[in-house]
Amino acid sequence: MVVDPPLPEPEMLAAIPRLRRYARVLTGDPTRADDLVQETLARAWEKRRLWTAGSDLRAWMFTIMHNLFVNQLAAATRDAQNVSIDGDGDGNAAWQLPVRATQQTHVELLEVLGELGRLPAEQREVLVLAAVEEMRYEEIAKLLAIPVGTVMSRLSRAREKLRRATSGVPDGNPAPVRMLR
């Protein structure tokens, strides 16, 4: 009889808040994010025999989540061809802040989160994995199945767009500099 290796429960439980953050970035909707986390945990349990003991469980679960999300997007794209144009879904859920903040900090965070939501999905995903989840470029590249150079490029573009958006500089070419005589 073959026995599946147990998943390290403390590591699995510790990964849930990070999975939730990543799911919210992917979906933009807290309810859909919770569903994605649930599906990720169920899939991880179902496929536990594929996890290599001693490897990074968090990265393995992030990969599962990413693949589930990509599959859901593909299914949604297929299903969208059969949806009535009278549908009432708006698709723009508000970001929620997980901590209490002062009013000014709250407003600043909402502005940054709003700008984060305006980034292209590929840039937003890489930025969150690097900045929030503190994953290395190599880990992100492996998770997303893209070259490390692409990770670095997307991250650079995302940071620059956020920098411009939060500093009030319009996206695109910088304003010309006037020379004093």
Confidence of residue 109 (pLDDT cuts 50, 70, 90): low
Architecture in CATH of 7-82: Orthogonal Bundle (1.10)
Nearest to 128 by CA among 50, 22, 10, 6: 22
Structural domain spans, the chain: 7-82, 101-168
pLDDT tens readout for residues 124-142? 888 888 887 788 899 899 9
58-93 pLDDT per residue, tens: 888 888 888 888 888 777 767 655 544 444 444 444
Is the Cβ–Cβ distance between 160 and 127 less than 8 Å?
no
101-168 classified as CATH 1.10.10.10: yes
Percent of the chain at pLDDT > 90 equals: 13
pLDDT for residue 164 is more than 70 = yes
Handedness of CA 66, 70, 75, 76 (dihedral sign): positive
What integer pLDDT is reported at residue 4 of this predicted model? 57
In tens, the pLDDT along 111-123 reads 766 777 788 888 8
2-18 per-position pLDDT tens digit: 555 566 777 888 888 98
Q: What is the dihedral of CA 113, 21, 128, 98, to 10 degrees?
A: 40
